[in-house]
Protein backbone atom coordinates (compact mmCIF):
# COMPACT_ATOMS: atom_id res chain seq x y z
CA UNK A 1 0.00 0.00 0.00
CA UNK A 2 1.43 3.38 -1.05
CA UNK A 3 1.56 5.80 1.89
CA UNK A 4 2.80 9.38 2.03
CA UNK A 5 4.06 9.93 5.58
CA UNK A 6 5.04 13.08 7.46
CA UNK A 7 6.77 11.79 10.58
CA UNK A 8 7.81 15.01 12.31
CA UNK A 9 5.30 17.65 13.41
CA UNK A 10 4.45 19.59 16.57
CA UNK A 11 1.41 20.21 18.74
CA UNK A 12 0.05 23.51 19.99
CA UNK A 13 2.08 22.95 23.16
CA UNK A 14 5.38 23.59 21.38
CA UNK A 15 6.73 27.12 21.23
CA UNK A 16 5.95 29.18 18.14
CA UNK A 17 3.21 26.79 17.04
CA UNK A 18 -0.39 27.42 16.05
CA UNK A 19 -2.77 27.35 19.01
CA UNK A 20 -5.36 25.71 16.74
CA UNK A 21 -3.41 22.47 16.29
CA UNK A 22 -5.58 19.60 17.43
CA UNK A 23 -6.21 16.04 16.26
CA UNK A 24 -9.27 17.09 14.23
CA UNK A 25 -7.41 19.78 12.28
CA UNK A 26 -4.36 17.57 11.74
CA UNK A 27 -6.55 14.85 10.25
CA UNK A 28 -8.58 17.28 8.12
CA UNK A 29 -5.64 19.02 6.49
CA UNK A 30 -3.53 15.87 6.15
CA UNK A 31 -6.33 14.40 4.03
CA UNK A 32 -6.56 17.57 1.97
CA UNK A 33 -2.80 17.53 1.46
CA UNK A 34 -2.71 13.83 0.60
CA UNK A 35 -0.69 12.73 3.63
CA UNK A 36 -1.71 9.21 4.65
CA UNK A 37 0.29 8.84 7.88
CA UNK A 38 1.18 11.56 10.36
CA UNK A 39 3.41 11.75 13.40
CA UNK A 40 1.58 12.76 16.54
CA UNK A 41 4.20 15.27 17.63
CA UNK A 42 5.10 16.09 21.22
CA UNK A 43 4.10 12.83 22.95
CA UNK A 44 6.06 13.76 26.09
CA UNK A 45 3.87 16.78 26.84
CA UNK A 46 1.30 15.88 29.54
CA UNK A 47 -1.61 17.77 27.98
CA UNK A 48 -0.97 16.58 24.44
CA UNK A 49 -0.49 12.91 25.36
CA UNK A 50 -3.77 13.12 27.27
CA UNK A 51 -5.51 14.23 24.08
CA UNK A 52 -3.75 11.52 22.10
CA UNK A 53 -4.95 8.84 24.51
CA UNK A 54 -8.49 10.21 24.50
CA UNK A 55 -8.88 10.67 20.74
CA UNK A 56 -6.74 7.96 19.15
CA UNK A 57 -7.09 4.21 19.43
CA UNK A 58 -4.10 1.84 19.25
CA UNK A 59 -4.58 -1.02 16.77
CA UNK A 60 -2.02 -3.26 18.57
CA UNK A 61 0.31 -2.94 15.56
CA UNK A 62 1.84 0.35 16.68
CA UNK A 63 -0.43 2.64 14.66
CA UNK A 64 -3.07 4.84 16.30
CA UNK A 65 -6.31 5.75 14.52
CA UNK A 66 -8.92 8.46 14.82
CA UNK A 67 -12.58 7.51 15.00
CA UNK A 68 -12.82 7.93 11.23
CA UNK A 69 -9.76 5.78 10.58
CA UNK A 70 -6.93 8.25 9.96
CA UNK A 71 -3.54 6.85 11.12
CA UNK A 72 -0.92 8.41 13.38
CA UNK A 73 2.41 7.12 14.65
CA UNK A 74 3.67 8.16 18.09
CA UNK A 75 6.37 10.78 17.62
CA UNK A 76 8.13 13.59 19.45
CA UNK A 77 11.23 15.78 19.15
CA UNK A 78 13.73 16.16 21.97
CA UNK A 79 16.39 18.87 22.24
CA UNK A 80 19.72 17.80 23.76
CA UNK A 81 21.92 20.69 24.87
CA UNK A 82 25.22 19.81 26.52
CA UNK A 83 28.99 20.27 26.42
CA UNK A 84 31.21 17.78 24.63
CA UNK A 85 34.97 18.10 24.18
CA UNK A 86 34.81 21.66 25.43
CA UNK A 87 32.19 22.74 22.88
CA UNK A 88 28.53 23.47 23.39
CA UNK A 89 26.34 21.02 21.49
CA UNK A 90 22.68 21.43 20.56
CA UNK A 91 21.22 18.43 18.79
CA UNK A 92 17.53 17.77 18.08
CA UNK A 93 16.30 14.21 17.63
CA UNK A 94 13.01 12.84 16.33
CA UNK A 95 11.76 9.86 18.35
CA UNK A 96 9.23 7.30 17.14
CA UNK A 97 7.66 4.87 19.62
CA UNK A 98 5.81 1.55 19.10
CA UNK A 99 3.02 2.01 21.66
CA UNK A 100 1.66 4.15 24.48
CA UNK A 101 3.29 2.01 27.16
CA UNK A 102 6.72 2.75 25.71
CA UNK A 103 5.82 6.45 25.49
CA UNK A 104 5.05 6.45 29.22
CA UNK A 105 8.45 4.88 29.93
CA UNK A 106 10.26 7.42 27.75
CA UNK A 107 8.52 10.26 29.59
CA UNK A 108 9.35 8.69 32.96
CA UNK A 109 13.02 8.51 31.94
CA UNK A 110 13.07 12.14 30.81
CA UNK A 111 11.40 13.32 34.02
CA UNK A 112 14.48 12.12 35.89
CA UNK A 113 16.44 14.75 33.97
CA UNK A 114 14.04 17.70 33.97
CA UNK A 115 10.55 18.88 33.06
CA UNK A 116 8.34 17.99 30.11
CA UNK A 117 5.39 20.29 30.77
CA UNK A 118 6.78 23.65 29.63
CA UNK A 119 7.31 22.87 25.94
CA UNK A 120 6.29 20.16 23.49
CA UNK A 121 9.93 20.01 22.43
CA UNK A 122 11.63 19.66 25.83
CA UNK A 123 15.30 20.39 26.47
CA UNK A 124 17.64 18.14 28.45
CA UNK A 125 21.31 18.13 29.37
CA UNK A 126 21.80 14.59 28.09
CA UNK A 127 24.45 13.53 25.58
CA UNK A 128 23.41 11.87 22.33
CA UNK A 129 25.06 8.52 23.29
CA UNK A 130 23.42 8.44 26.74
CA UNK A 131 20.04 9.43 25.33
CA UNK A 132 20.15 6.74 22.66
CA UNK A 133 21.40 4.01 24.96
CA UNK A 134 18.75 4.79 27.57
CA UNK A 135 15.89 4.76 25.07
CA UNK A 136 17.09 1.52 23.49
CA UNK A 137 17.04 -0.07 26.95
CA UNK A 138 13.35 0.85 27.17
CA UNK A 139 12.60 -0.72 23.77
CA UNK A 140 14.71 -1.79 20.82
CA UNK A 141 11.78 -0.71 18.62
CA UNK A 142 12.19 2.98 19.48
CA UNK A 143 13.54 4.85 16.47
CA UNK A 144 15.87 7.81 17.00
CA UNK A 145 16.40 10.03 13.96
CA UNK A 146 18.67 13.09 14.18
CA UNK A 147 16.42 15.97 13.12
CA UNK A 148 17.05 18.51 10.31
CA UNK A 149 20.70 17.48 10.49
CA UNK A 150 22.22 20.54 8.76
CA UNK A 151 20.32 23.40 10.44
CA UNK A 152 22.94 25.82 11.87
CA UNK A 153 21.67 26.13 15.42
CA UNK A 154 20.17 22.83 16.58
CA UNK A 155 21.37 19.81 14.65
CA UNK A 156 23.88 17.03 14.22
CA UNK A 157 26.01 18.77 11.57
CA UNK A 158 24.98 22.38 12.31
CA UNK A 159 27.62 25.05 11.76
CA UNK A 160 27.05 26.60 15.20
CA UNK A 161 27.16 23.55 17.46
CA UNK A 162 27.40 20.42 15.36
CA UNK A 163 29.69 17.46 14.87
CA UNK A 164 31.52 16.32 11.75
CA UNK A 165 30.18 12.76 11.75
CA UNK A 166 27.43 10.60 13.22
CA UNK A 167 30.08 8.60 15.05
CA UNK A 168 31.52 11.71 16.68
CA UNK A 169 28.07 12.65 17.96
CA UNK A 170 26.72 9.25 19.01
CA UNK A 171 29.94 7.36 19.81
CA UNK A 172 29.26 3.63 20.26
CA UNK A 173 25.51 4.27 19.95
CA UNK A 174 25.88 5.26 16.29
CA UNK A 175 25.10 1.57 15.63
CA UNK A 176 21.52 2.42 16.64
CA UNK A 177 21.12 5.31 14.19
CA UNK A 178 19.64 4.19 10.89
CA UNK A 179 18.24 7.37 9.38
CA UNK A 180 18.88 11.11 9.16
CA UNK A 181 16.34 13.85 8.51
CA UNK A 182 17.63 16.13 5.75
CA UNK A 183 15.64 19.26 6.68
CA UNK A 184 14.21 21.97 4.44
CA UNK A 185 17.56 23.55 3.60
CA UNK A 186 19.10 20.38 2.18
CA UNK A 187 17.93 17.59 -0.08
CA UNK A 188 19.22 14.03 -0.62
CA UNK A 189 21.48 15.10 -3.50
CA UNK A 190 23.42 17.37 -1.16
CA UNK A 191 23.75 14.57 1.39
CA UNK A 192 24.92 12.09 -1.26
CA UNK A 193 28.11 14.13 -1.50
CA UNK A 194 29.21 12.67 1.86
CA UNK A 195 30.27 9.03 1.54
CA UNK A 196 29.94 8.66 5.33
CA UNK A 197 26.15 8.99 4.95
CA UNK A 198 25.66 6.19 2.41
CA UNK A 199 24.60 3.69 5.06
CA UNK A 200 21.79 5.89 6.40
CA UNK A 201 18.28 6.31 5.08
CA UNK A 202 17.54 9.96 4.32
CA UNK A 203 14.05 10.86 5.51
CA UNK A 204 12.17 14.11 4.92
CA UNK A 205 9.49 15.60 7.15
CA UNK A 206 7.79 18.96 7.50
CA UNK A 207 8.63 19.78 11.14
CA UNK A 208 5.31 21.60 10.85
CA UNK A 209 4.33 24.21 13.43
CA UNK A 210 0.80 24.47 12.05
CA UNK A 211 -1.70 22.27 10.23
CA UNK A 212 -2.03 24.45 7.12
CA UNK A 213 -1.31 22.67 3.82
CA UNK A 214 1.63 24.94 2.98
CA UNK A 215 3.32 23.59 6.11
CA UNK A 216 2.11 20.06 6.83
CA UNK A 217 3.55 17.52 4.39
CA UNK A 218 5.72 20.11 2.63
CA UNK A 219 8.37 17.40 2.98
CA UNK A 220 7.39 13.77 3.33
CA UNK A 221 8.28 10.12 2.72
CA UNK A 222 6.60 7.69 0.34
CA UNK A 223 6.40 4.06 1.44
CA UNK A 224 4.91 0.97 -0.14
CA UNK A 225 4.10 -1.15 2.92
CA UNK A 226 1.28 -2.72 4.85
CA UNK A 227 0.81 -0.15 7.56
CA UNK A 228 2.19 -1.39 10.86
CA UNK A 229 4.80 0.19 13.09
CA UNK A 230 7.16 -2.72 12.47
CA UNK A 231 6.88 -2.39 8.70
CA UNK A 232 7.41 1.37 8.91
CA UNK A 233 10.58 0.97 10.96
CA UNK A 234 11.85 -1.78 8.67
CA UNK A 235 11.33 0.48 5.66
CA UNK A 236 13.24 3.29 7.36
CA UNK A 237 16.09 1.10 8.55
CA UNK A 238 16.51 -1.14 5.52
CA UNK A 239 15.03 1.00 2.71
CA UNK A 240 12.65 -1.86 1.83
CA UNK A 241 9.40 -0.40 0.62
CA UNK A 242 10.87 3.11 0.90
CA UNK A 243 9.98 4.49 -2.54
CA UNK A 244 11.10 8.12 -2.43
CA UNK A 245 10.94 11.36 -0.51
CA UNK A 246 9.10 14.57 -1.33
CA UNK A 247 11.23 17.66 -0.91
CA UNK A 248 11.11 21.36 -1.38
CA UNK A 249 14.02 22.85 -3.32
CA UNK A 250 16.72 23.37 -0.64
CA UNK A 251 16.93 27.03 -1.68
CA UNK A 252 13.45 27.32 -0.18
CA UNK A 253 14.78 26.50 3.30
CA UNK A 254 15.52 29.39 5.60
CA UNK A 255 19.12 28.36 6.26
CA UNK A 256 20.31 27.29 2.82
CA UNK A 257 22.84 30.06 2.15
CA UNK A 258 25.03 32.11 4.45
CA UNK A 259 23.88 35.51 5.55
CA UNK A 260 22.90 38.13 8.08
CA UNK A 261 19.19 38.87 8.12
CA UNK A 262 19.50 42.13 10.07
CA UNK A 263 21.68 43.58 7.30
CA UNK A 264 19.82 41.97 4.40
CA UNK A 265 23.04 40.22 3.39
CA UNK A 266 22.93 36.83 1.65
CA UNK A 267 26.01 35.08 0.27
CA UNK A 268 27.01 31.80 -1.30
CA UNK A 269 29.91 29.94 0.37
CA UNK A 270 32.60 31.33 -1.94
CA UNK A 271 31.53 34.90 -1.25
CA UNK A 272 31.42 34.20 2.50
CA UNK A 273 34.94 32.77 2.49
CA UNK A 274 36.22 35.81 0.60
CA UNK A 275 34.77 37.92 3.42
CA UNK A 276 36.16 35.55 6.09
CA UNK A 277 32.57 34.69 7.09
CA UNK A 278 32.04 38.25 8.28
CA UNK A 279 29.07 40.43 7.33
CA UNK A 280 30.39 43.23 5.08
CA UNK A 281 27.89 45.72 6.55
CA UNK A 282 28.05 45.29 10.33
CA UNK A 283 31.31 43.27 10.56
CA UNK A 284 29.67 40.57 12.71
CA UNK A 285 29.77 36.83 12.06
CA UNK A 286 27.53 35.55 9.29
CA UNK A 287 25.15 32.68 10.00
CA UNK A 288 26.79 29.88 8.04
CA UNK A 289 24.17 28.03 6.06
CA UNK A 290 23.64 24.45 5.05
CA UNK A 291 25.25 24.61 1.61
CA UNK A 292 28.46 25.98 3.13
CA UNK A 293 28.53 23.26 5.76
CA UNK A 294 27.93 20.51 3.20
CA UNK A 295 30.82 21.88 1.14
CA UNK A 296 33.07 21.66 4.21
CA UNK A 297 32.34 17.99 4.83
CA UNK A 298 31.74 16.69 1.30
CA UNK A 299 34.18 14.21 -0.20
CA UNK A 300 32.36 13.86 -3.52
CA UNK A 301 31.60 16.17 -6.40
CA UNK A 302 28.16 17.66 -6.92
CA UNK A 303 25.93 15.29 -8.85
CA UNK A 304 27.17 12.00 -7.37
CA UNK A 305 24.42 9.45 -6.63
CA UNK A 306 25.00 6.29 -4.54
CA UNK A 307 23.76 3.02 -6.06
CA UNK A 308 21.31 2.26 -3.24
CA UNK A 309 20.00 5.79 -2.89
CA UNK A 310 16.31 6.40 -2.28
CA UNK A 311 15.29 8.94 -4.93
CA UNK A 312 13.33 12.16 -4.37
CA UNK A 313 10.93 14.60 -5.99
CA UNK A 314 11.08 18.35 -5.42
CA UNK A 315 7.84 20.33 -5.17
CA UNK A 316 6.57 23.74 -4.12
CA UNK A 317 3.45 23.80 -1.92
CA UNK A 318 0.38 24.54 -4.05
CA UNK A 319 -0.65 27.47 -1.84
CA UNK A 320 2.72 29.11 -2.50
CA UNK A 321 2.30 28.72 -6.25
CA UNK A 322 -1.20 30.18 -6.21
CA UNK A 323 -0.25 33.03 -3.89
CA UNK A 324 2.45 34.23 -6.27
CA UNK A 325 0.41 33.77 -9.43
CA UNK A 326 -2.71 35.41 -8.04
CA UNK A 327 -0.81 38.19 -6.28
CA UNK A 328 -2.63 37.53 -3.03
CA UNK A 329 -1.68 36.38 0.47
CA UNK A 330 -1.15 32.69 1.02
CA UNK A 331 -4.11 32.51 3.42
CA UNK A 332 -6.33 34.93 1.47
CA UNK A 333 -9.84 34.04 0.32
CA UNK A 334 -8.72 34.34 -3.30
CA UNK A 335 -5.96 31.74 -2.86
CA UNK A 336 -8.15 29.42 -0.78
CA UNK A 337 -10.88 29.53 -3.40
CA UNK A 338 -8.53 28.42 -6.18
CA UNK A 339 -6.80 25.92 -3.91
CA UNK A 340 -10.09 24.26 -2.98
CA UNK A 341 -11.17 24.26 -6.61
CA UNK A 342 -8.08 22.30 -7.65
CA UNK A 343 -8.12 19.92 -4.70
CA UNK A 344 -11.80 19.16 -5.21
CA UNK A 345 -11.09 18.26 -8.83
CA UNK A 346 -8.13 15.99 -8.05
CA UNK A 347 -8.79 14.59 -4.52
CA UNK A 348 -5.71 16.04 -2.78
CA UNK A 349 -2.92 18.57 -3.16
CA UNK A 350 -0.39 15.84 -3.90
CA UNK A 351 -2.64 14.57 -6.68
CA UNK A 352 -2.56 18.06 -8.16
CA UNK A 353 1.20 18.48 -7.79
CA UNK A 354 2.33 14.97 -8.72
CA UNK A 355 -0.27 13.28 -10.91
CA UNK A 356 -2.68 15.64 -12.67
CA UNK A 357 -2.19 16.09 -16.42
CA UNK A 358 -1.63 19.52 -17.90
CA UNK A 359 -4.84 19.47 -19.95
CA UNK A 360 -6.89 18.44 -16.92
CA UNK A 361 -5.31 21.17 -14.80
CA UNK A 362 -6.08 23.71 -17.51
CA UNK A 363 -9.73 22.62 -17.61
CA UNK A 364 -10.03 22.79 -13.83
CA UNK A 365 -8.23 26.13 -13.51
CA UNK A 366 -6.43 27.99 -16.30
CA UNK A 367 -3.38 27.67 -18.52
CA UNK A 368 -1.13 29.91 -16.42
CA UNK A 369 -1.71 27.95 -13.22
CA UNK A 370 -1.48 24.61 -15.04
CA UNK A 371 1.85 25.63 -16.55
CA UNK A 372 3.24 26.71 -13.19
CA UNK A 373 2.24 23.41 -11.55
CA UNK A 374 3.87 21.38 -14.32
CA UNK A 375 7.02 23.51 -14.23
CA UNK A 376 7.20 23.08 -10.45
CA UNK A 377 6.82 19.31 -10.90
CA UNK A 378 9.69 19.35 -13.41
CA UNK A 379 11.92 21.46 -11.16
CA UNK A 380 11.84 24.47 -13.48
CA UNK A 381 10.77 27.12 -10.98
CA UNK A 382 13.61 29.33 -9.81
CA UNK A 383 13.92 29.92 -6.06
CA UNK A 384 15.39 33.01 -4.47
CA UNK A 385 17.52 31.32 -1.75
CA UNK A 386 16.75 31.45 1.95
CA UNK A 387 19.30 32.51 4.57
CA UNK A 388 19.64 33.27 8.30
CA UNK A 389 16.02 32.46 9.14
CA UNK A 390 14.48 33.93 5.96
CA UNK A 391 12.57 31.45 3.76
CA UNK A 392 13.41 31.19 0.08
CA UNK A 393 10.87 32.49 -2.40
CA UNK A 394 9.71 31.07 -5.76
CA UNK A 395 10.21 33.40 -8.72
CA UNK A 396 7.44 33.24 -11.33
CA UNK A 397 7.12 35.00 -14.67
CA UNK A 398 4.55 37.47 -13.42
CA UNK A 399 6.62 38.78 -10.53
CA UNK A 400 10.14 38.71 -11.95
CA UNK A 401 9.83 42.22 -13.37
CA UNK A 402 8.41 43.58 -10.13
CA UNK A 403 11.41 42.23 -8.29
CA UNK A 404 14.16 43.44 -10.65
CA UNK A 405 15.88 45.60 -8.08
CA UNK A 406 15.83 42.82 -5.49
CA UNK A 407 17.24 40.33 -7.99
CA UNK A 408 19.90 42.84 -9.07
CA UNK A 409 20.94 43.35 -5.47
CA UNK A 410 21.22 39.61 -4.87
CA UNK A 411 23.33 39.18 -7.98
CA UNK A 412 25.71 41.79 -6.66
CA UNK A 413 26.04 39.70 -3.51
CA UNK A 414 27.37 36.77 -5.52
CA UNK A 415 24.18 34.85 -6.22
CA UNK A 416 24.36 34.93 -9.99
CA UNK A 417 24.18 31.16 -10.36
CA UNK A 418 20.74 31.16 -8.69
CA UNK A 419 19.05 33.55 -11.11
Residue-level pLDDT, tens digit, the chain, 419 residues: 999 999 999 999 999 999 999 999 999 999 999 999 999 999 999 999 999 999 999 999 999 999 999 999 999 999 999 999 899 999 999 999 999 999 999 999 999 999 999 999 999 999 999 999 999 999 999 999 999 999 999 999 999 999 999 999 999 999 999 999 999 999 999 999 999 999 999 999 999 999 999 999 999 999 999 999 999 999 999 999 999 999 999 999 999 999 999 999 999 999 999 999 999 999 999 999 999 999 999 999 999 999 989 999 999 999 999 999 999 999 999 999 999 999 999 999 999 999 999 999 999 999 999 999 999 999 999 999 999 999 999 998 654 333 333 333 333 333 333 22
Distance of CA 337 to the CA centre of its chain: 27
Domain parsing of the chain, residue ranges? 2-251, 317-377
* pLDDT for 396: 84
DSSP code, position 124: E
Backbone angles phi, psi at 259, to 5 degrees: 170, 180
For the entire predicted model, the pTM comes to 0.93
Q: Which CATH class is domain 2-251?
A: alpha beta
* pLDDT for 397: 66
User: CA 243, CA 4: separation in Å to the nearest integer?
Assistant: 10
* pLDDT for 419: 24
User: CA 414, CA 270: separation in Å to the nearest integer?
Assistant: 8
Nearest-5° angle of CA 250, CA 256, CA 260? Answer: 155
User: CA 108, CA 126: separation in Å to the nearest integer?
Assistant: 15
395: Cα within 13 Å, side-chain hemisphere: 16
* pLDDT for 412: 36
148 DSSP β-pair partners: none
State the angle between helix axes of 100-111 and 46-55 in degrees (0 to 180), rounded to the nearest 10: 170
Strands 201-203 and 143-146: unpaired
User: CA 355, CA 230: separation in Å to the nearest integer?
Assistant: 29
Q: Which residues contact 235 (CB under 8 A, 6 or more apart)?
A: 223, 225, 241, 242
DSSP code, position 285: B
Note whether 180 and 198 are within 8 A (CB): no
User: CA 184, CA 126: separation in Å to the nearest integer?
Assistant: 26
323: burial class by Cβ within 10 Å (0-12, 13-18, 19+)?
buried
Note whether 9 and 17 are within 8 A (CB): no
What are the residue ranges of helices labelled H in 139-228?
166-170, 188-191
Amino acid sequence: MKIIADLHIHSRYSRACSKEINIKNLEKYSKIKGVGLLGTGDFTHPQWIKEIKEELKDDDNGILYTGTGFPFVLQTEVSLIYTDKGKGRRVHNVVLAPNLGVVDQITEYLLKHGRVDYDGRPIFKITCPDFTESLKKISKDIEIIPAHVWTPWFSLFGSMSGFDSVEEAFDDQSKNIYALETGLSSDPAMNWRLSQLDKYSLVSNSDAHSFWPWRIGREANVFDIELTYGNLINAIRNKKGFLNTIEVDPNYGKYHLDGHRACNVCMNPKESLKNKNICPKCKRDLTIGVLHRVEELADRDEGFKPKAAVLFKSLIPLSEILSHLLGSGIASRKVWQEYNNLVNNFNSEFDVLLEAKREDLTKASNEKIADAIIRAREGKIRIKPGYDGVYGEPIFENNVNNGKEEIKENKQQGLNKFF
